[in-house]
Chains A and B, each alone.
Chain A
Amino acid sequence: MSSLPADVEAMVGAIQYEEQGEFPVERGYIWTTCSSVENGNPLFWDDDVATEITDGPIAPSTMLSVWFRPHHWVPGRTSSGLPLQVHFDLKDAFDLPEAVMTDNTLVFHEPVRPGDLLSTRQILQSVSEEKPTKLGTGRFWVIDVEYRNQRGDLVGVESYTGFGYRKAG
């Protein structure tokens, strides 16, 4: 028997927050990301290698979520967009002031290329009962984020486990 509030119960399995990225995939972020982890893979630095192996430049696979994180500020925006909004909705719904991510699964499909404009949608898969942990008492939840390019090709699916909690003591 589920003890979830009706508004949260209704979120489970629903497609939410279908959104386009705020800017096309671009090489500046690809190079900054490679630089941040000293990734010298020639796919990202040598166009001849990229042409030979991947039919042109691509983005590192793990950059999927980078392309939909909103700008910190844009002119005229009144509400502050938050990445993974379902996560923050759940924090609010359960009045849990703190949250961390505990598990993250990434599945990669078509490569992401400079110039692609990705879209995403979020699907809440599950919410746990309240559980005590060393951080505090709270709930675990699993959220899937699907990513597609402008041609409708699936480029990846990211699955997050979040833990929203109230600090112990």
Chain B
Amino acid sequence: MMGTPARGITADAVKPGDRLPELKHDMTATTIVLGALAARDWRPMHHDHDFAVNRNGMRDLFMSTPNQAAWFERYVTDWTGPKGRLGRMKFRMIGSVFAGDTMVLSGSVEGIEVDDRGCAWAQLALAVSVEGTVVTECAARIALPRDGDDNPWARRGDRWQP
């Protein structure tokens, strides 16, 4: 065997009610602009302060939707390890994350199931908050390995039911 088994959680170690460790990050104009341009989102409200404030009527530059998705993905796979494979994410944008905000990602396990193809899934309720107020909610369904030998990424065709 080459290397070491990839680290990460298995489905049997997860139960409803488990909480994911919180992640805090201070957003700056640079992180907002970097995230928007990484996502090839050239729209001015994510890099042009004057446009965001005087045209859109927002408080400051704010994070783009695809970049928020990338933050949620990073947050969830920090918890699962590399064998965690996202199936589905649903976002509800309530407010915005602005330059200067301290963003807090939090989450909990709502349920665990094994589908009829033998794939284990965790249903997660995730949130981005700023100063205690939820600005984005995300419901995520992520496949987890059932044991050290299982690998959700090996599933193809009808064995993968996201």
Contact = CB atoms under 8 A, between A and B. Distances in A.
To the question of whether A and B form a pair in one complex, the answer is yes
Interface of A: 29, 32-43, 48-49, 52-55, 60-63, 65-66, 69, 72, 83, 98, 100-111, 167
A131 B85 CA distance: 38
A72 B40 CA distance: 9
Contacts of A37: 35, 67, 70-71, 73-74
A36 B153 CA distance: 24
Given A37-B71, A53-B83, A98-B56, A62 B66 contact: yes
B82 interface: yes
Contacts of B162: 107-109
Given A32-B37, A69-B39, 15 more contacts: A32-B34, A33-B70, A37-B35, A43-B82, A53-B153, A60-B70, A61-B73, A62-B72, A62-B73, A63-B39, A83-B41, A103-B92, A105-B91, A106-B88, A106-B89
Secondary structure call for the A interface: mixed
Contacts of A43: 82
B31 interface: yes
Chain B interface residue count: which class?
A: 35 or more
B18 to A, nearest CB: 20
B39 to A, nearest CB: 5
Interface of B: 2-3, 6, 25, 31, 34-35, 37-42, 56-57, 65-67, 69-74, 77-78, 82-83, 85-93, 151, 153, 156, 160, 162
